[in-house]
């Protein structure tokens, strides 16, 4: 894989990840762009012990443009996009409308004595999986999945070394039902200046388990139990297991985990990276086959924080959909949104059975 970094017209970084070492990436960005916005504002919620990002500039971000105006397509002729090249394999670039960035303008302060405020330091990047606007991740060849995984490993390492970054989150949103604003197949990477609430909860449970068991890894033990039972395993190979969690929150939710305990994507071996693609592509096609239609989903990589508690983590990909039937979506209503208590309409065992048969 060849890695080539360039600067866009407004100073943001773009990186080409090419599968051929002879790729030449010398096309300049010919657009006239305004400077990128300053970092968002982080406000602390003392009632939940959580940080909330206020990023008012994102209100003007691109929203469902027609196909001939997609900013993630390659640049061709006078149609200039975020990617200057006329074709590409995988591209990563700084988001033009970031929730987090290193462009700090405001100093820390407070709204009230209980609500401190600080700049939203970090970074948000866009990952384009292919130059083909009409493709999907499920339609990629295994070699391209490996390139995407290598790109995510590269970015996890680089972003984790930025001052103030505590966690790197790689994810893909698919489908307007999920909230996608660009149809081109792409994902995103957030480099947070704090450990996220979900990860803090996972680490707290893992820490309690390690103390009870004399150092056992909670996720590894859960994975071993799921593999031993087999009721909720959808598919597996020599390196990865895809299973529906016994307490799944979403109608169709699958965890894809390496058998070996690793903290993050960069720690995966070459064999593990090669084995991921065929299994994951099979799983995505099962999702699409459930109702014979493109399945809306979120694919979220859970990685250990970059500075603390890395021994407690266990890398895994959480793939889930809000679709519970061909004509029905799972809405986060009163119990889920108000109290954080999920109510699942489909048993995890039934979901696994349907996915195995898809």
Query: What's the residue count for the chain?
Result: 358
Q: Which of 183, 184, 186, 239 is catalytic?
A: 186
Burial (CB < 10 A; 0-12, 13-18, 19+), residue 86, is exposed
**Cα three-residue angle 282-287-291, rounded to 5 degrees:** 135
CA separation (Å) from 347 to 6, 113, 244, 252, 295?
48, 46, 10, 9, 19
345: its two tokens: 């309409």
Backbone angles phi, psi at 336, to 5 degrees: -70, -50
Q: Which residues pair with 328 in a beta bridge?
A: 325
Which residue shows structure tokens 């803090």? 200
Active site residue 186: yes
Contact between residue 227 and residue 240 where contact means Cβ atoms under 8 Å apart: no
How far apart are the C-alpha atoms of 358 and 132, rounded to whole Å?
Answer: 26
* Those residues with Cβ within 8 angstroms of residue 123's Cβ, 6 or more apart along the chain or in another chain: 94, 98, 100, 101, 102, 159, 162, 165, 189, 190, 191
One DSSP character per residue, 144-166 reads: HHHHHHHHHHHHHHHHHTSTT--
Q: Mind telling me the catalytic residues?
A: 186
């Amino acid at each position: 894989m060849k890695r080539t970094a360039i600067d866009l017209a407004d100073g943001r970084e773009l990186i080409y990840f090419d599968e051929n070492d002879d790729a030449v990436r010398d096309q300049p960005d010919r657009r006239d762009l305004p400077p990128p916005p300053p970092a968002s504002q982080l406000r602390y919620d003392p009632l939940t012990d959580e940080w909330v990002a206020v990023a008012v500039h994102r209100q003007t971000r691109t929203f469902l443009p027609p196909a001939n105006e997609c900013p993630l397509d390659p640049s061709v002729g006078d149609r200039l996009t975020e990617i200057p090249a006329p074709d590409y394999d995988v591209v990563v670039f700084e988001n033009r409308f970031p929730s987090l960035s290193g462009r700090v303008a405001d100093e820390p302060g407070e709204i009230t004595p209980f609500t401190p405020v600080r700049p939203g330091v970090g970074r948000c990047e866009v990952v384009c999986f292919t130059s083909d606007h009409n493709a999907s991740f499920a339609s990629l060849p295994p070699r391209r999945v490996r390139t995407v995984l290598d790109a995510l490993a590269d970015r996890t390492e680089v972003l984790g070394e930025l001052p103030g970054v505590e966690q790197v989150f790689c994810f893909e949103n698919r489908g307007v039902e999920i909230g996608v604003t660009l149809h081109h197949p792409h994902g995103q990477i957030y480099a947070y200046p704090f450990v996220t609430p979900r990860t803090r909860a996972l680490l707290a449970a893992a820490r309690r388990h390690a103390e009870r068991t004399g150092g056992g890894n909670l996720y590894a033990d859960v994975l071993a139990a799921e593999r031993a039972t087999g009721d909720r395993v959808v598919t597996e190979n020599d390196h990865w297991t895809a299973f529906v969690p016994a307490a799944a929150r979403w109608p169709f939710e699958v965890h894809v985990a390496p058998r070996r305990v690793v903290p993050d994507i960069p720690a995966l071996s070459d064999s593990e990276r090669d084995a991921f693609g065929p299994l994951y592509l099979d799983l995505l096609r099962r999702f699409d086959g459930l109702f014979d239609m493109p399945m809306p989903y979120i694919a979220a990589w859970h990685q250990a924080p970059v500075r603390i508690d890395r021994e407690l983590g266990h890398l895994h990909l959480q793939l889930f959909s809000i679709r519970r039937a061909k004509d029905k979506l799972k809405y986060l209503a009163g119990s889920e949104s108000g109290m954080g208590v999920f109510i699942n309409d489909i048993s995890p065992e039934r979901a696994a059975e349907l996915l195995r048969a898809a």
